[in-house]
Structure 1
């Protein structure tokens, strides 16, 4: 029987310990490395050569999807299974773009975790049905590339004059973009627009 080597990346120590304990209950799975920050994943993976990395999406230093992309580029033999407590509709698109192998909600049954690890290891892609449905319902991004640029500045707290200077636009043009963004997203204001776009995965 081949034993699959697992890397776990989770910043909450208790959750990380629980995941490791669940994995070690399986005869064909063993934990070879644990990381509490995203920037620890690649060095640990290069040292231990895991078959599957279970990665929490919200990690300090480097977020889980960025770490998964780096891992795919440097160690493509290691499959990645993203865990999240959030079912943001755009996150699945980001995850698939990052070449992750699976996407599982943290409140999935514990037995599902081991099944998902085996499935991604064998080359199959696993996406939690609830997340897939949410992503399907979200629709496409209605914002143009320029509107997204303006909204990124707004997300960082920039006001219209700062955005105008950063993008080489007039202040009036920026205000027009902001108004269009709010209307397209059916938002209450620009702060609400940033929240909507972020949760949809359009503003990573």
Structure 2
């Protein structure tokens, strides 16, 4: 029987301990490491090649999207399952578009998690169903994590240069993301984007 090398990551130590026990007790897997931050997970992936990675989406330092981006640059390609307590359709879509092989919500059973990871190890892609048309109809659901973060920075009045310095990106990259943000929200500038955001928040 083939055994799959697996590394798991979660910001919650209790959840991480549970994942560690879960996969140690399944003969199909060999646990090669655990991590509590996105950076630790990437470091483990670079040092010890594994077949499957299970990680949270909202991780300290590097979120799920950044983790998938970093993994995508590796010469080998471990399959990543996103394991999160926030099964938002936007996050499911973003995980899928950024190269995840599976997605699993923490509210479901651990048995189903094992089934999901085993299916991914066998070459399948496993994602919960969501209505893509509804997602496309709501511009807010199409915003990426980076675009949502930029919107928060806009609310504080920071300049493009200040945002670029904080995120470690170029000003041109910030302008590119802002252009996409404005297009999705149907606005022309940062003032309108902030106004639309504040209006939406007051209505929810």
Question: Do these two structures clear the TM 0.5 threshold for a shared fold by scoring above it?
Answer: yes
1:10 aligns with: 10
- What are structure 2's unaligned runs of at least 5 residues? 141-145, 161-170, 176-187
Distance 1:190 1:109, change over 3 A: closer
Distance 1:120 1:76, change over 3 A: farther
- Where do residues 55-134 of structure 1 align in structure 2 (5 Å cutoff)? 55-129=55-129, 132-133=130-131
2:134 aligns with: 137
CA radius of gyration, larger in: 1
Quote the RMSD (CA, aligned, Å).
Answer: 3.1
* C-alpha distance in structure 1 between counterparts of 2:199 and 2:134, whole Å: 23
2:180 aligns with: none
Aligned equivalent of 2:199, options 181, 186, 189: 189
TM-score by length of 1: 0.71
Distance 1:33 1:158, change over 3 A: same
SS at match of 1:74: coil
* C-alpha distance in structure 2 between counterparts of 1:114 and 1:77, whole Å: 20
CA shift, 1:22, in A, is 1.0
* C-alpha distance in structure 2 between counterparts of 1:150 and 1:35, whole Å: 27
Deviations 1:163-203 (A, max 9, x none): 8xx97xxxxx7487348x73xxxx7626559xx8xxxxxxx
* C-alpha distance in structure 1 between counterparts of 2:115 and 2:147, whole Å: 43
Q: Could you tell me whether the CA contact under 8 Å between 1:89 and 1:136 is conserved in 2?
A: no
1:24 aligns with: 24
Distance 1:154 1:113, change over 3 A: closer
* C-alpha distance in structure 1 between counterparts of 2:80 and 2:147, whole Å: 33
- What are structure 1's unaligned runs of at least 5 residues? 144-148, 168-172, 197-204
Q: Could you tell me whether the CA contact under 8 Å between 2:71 and 2:77 is conserved in 1?
A: no
2:50 aligns with: 50
Deviations 1:116-145 (A, max 9, x none): 11111122111123xx24x553333548xx
Ranges of 4+ aligned residues in structure 1 off by more than 6 Å? 149-152
Q: Could you tell me whether the CA contact under 8 Å between 1:155 and 1:191 is conserved in 2?
A: no
Instruction: Count residues in correspondence.
Output: 173
